[in-house]
Amino acid sequence: MRLSLSLRPPARPRFASLSSLTFFTLLTLLTLLTVAPAAHAHLMVAQRGTLNFVGEGAFLVLSLPASAFAFADTDHDHKLSQAELATHQQALRAALTREVTLSDAQGPRPLALMMLSLAPPDDTPTAPASQLIVLGRFALQNTSPLQLRLGLFGLDPSEQSTHVTVTRRATAQSQLVVLSPNNRTAEIFPSAMSIVRAFAKLGAEHIVTGLDHMLFLLLVLSAGWRWRRVLLALSVFTVGHALTLLASVVAGLRVAPALVEPTIAATIVLMGAFDWVSRTRKDPPSWGVRLALVFVCSLVHGLGLATALTSLGLKRDNLAPSLLGFNLGIELAQLCVALLVAAVATLARPYVRKERTPSLQKISTFVVITVGLGWLAQRVVFGP
């Protein structure tokens, strides 16, 4: 039995009135572009850190946004000056002791031997800094299980996540930890299943928060295919990501973001143009041709993702569960988006006149191409 996505049984189950829904969704995205900063699916956040285990201690170096310490920002410029650092040194240390901990079997361990410094711009070393550099050491009695907790995040959306690379020299282990207000605690050197869960969450966030990936996904869904072909197209998109991720981590494939990001925008233009031509021809290309195009474009999208993840410290350790979890998260997020779009399109079907469908299809495709060209020009001129 095939699933039907309309309120009345159709002859061939399809995404009902999906093009009209896509049209309104694309207009929303276009509006967001006019009021938001430049959109980059793989924008790198400023916060970085390292946690190195040596003997019975763990040494931490962490860059935190100044806006996370509002009590020390007396002039409210979301930065810290040397004077503010000196004045609020004790309060800053107390906040870090409370909000940055490493727990072992005996409970949370505070950060000791703490040193604080600012990271001002290179050309003006005396200017206020947007980042506070924290150095310290955790004294441990047990090496497992371990949990790192961070409760300090900035006000700007780009300051809402912190990436910490964890290493243990004795066993040559390494791990990438991503902390956010919704995920303040991370298990250190976790089990394979924990790694799958953590990277599945990252994969899902990658799809949901990437405007260009979301737009491309809407294009894939707008073909009006049956569910079987929709699921196949989503799986092909995931396989493309997986291949480029694997090539990047295992074979060392590297492509500069200055080339990848404009090319990602170009894939949106290409897919939109393909849809335009397909709808105007009497004998449109087969679904296999479109599926092949989706696969090629997914390789390009995966290059941008691979560049971002390798820059964050993704290594060969725990490679299998990391890639499995990440791609599982991508697949599940894509499926959820498909279900949501199909549900809304089905509810909207009675309110969309059948004779208006062709014009709405043309308008939505035109909007896709326009947005893609805008991103392409933006990334070529201003860079990734």
Say whether both 176 and 216 belong to one domain. Answer: no
Which DSSP letter does residue 70 get? G
In a domain, 267, yes or no: yes
Say whether both 309 and 215 belong to one domain. Answer: yes
Instruction: Provide the whole-model pTM.
Output: 0.61
Last residue of a domain, one of 159, 190, 221: 190
Query: Mean pLDDT: which of 36-50, 184-198, 213-227 is highest?
Result: 184-198
Residues 100, 95: Cα–Cα separation, whole Å: 8
pLDDT of 163 higher than 60: yes
In a domain, 347, yes or no: yes
Task: Show Cβ contacts of residue 113 under 8 Å, excluding neighbours closer than 6 positions.
Answer: 136, 137
Say whether both 181 and 268 belong to one domain. Answer: no
Say whether both 163 and 245 belong to one domain. Answer: no
Give the residue-averaged pLDDT of 88-99: 94
The residues that bridge with 60 in the sheet, in sequence order, are 51, 136
Residues 351, 152: Cα–Cα separation, whole Å: 48
Domain of 147, in residue numbers: 48-190
Q: How confident is the model at residue 18 (pLDDT cuts 50, 70, 90)?
A: very low
Output the pLDDT for position 224: 59
pLDDT tens digits for 343-370? 877 787 777 666 566 666 777 778 888 8
Which DSSP letter does residue 376 get? H
Say whether both 223 and 172 belong to one domain. Answer: no
Q: How confident is the model at residue 340 (pLDDT cuts 50, 70, 90)?
A: confident
Query: Mean pLDDT: which of 85-89, 201-205, 242-246, 261-265 is highest?
Result: 85-89
Question: Lowest-pLDDT range, 19-23, 39-43, 80-84, 156-160?
Answer: 39-43
Output the pLDDT for position 301: 84
H-helix or E-strand containing 101? strand 100-104
pLDDT of 1 higher than 50: no
Give the residue-averaged pLDDT of 44-57: 79
- Do the Cβ atoms of 217 and 298 come closer than 8 Å? no
Domains: count for the chain = 2
Say whether both 36 and 53 belong to one domain. Answer: no
Output the pLDDT for position 143: 64
pLDDT of 120 higher than 80: no
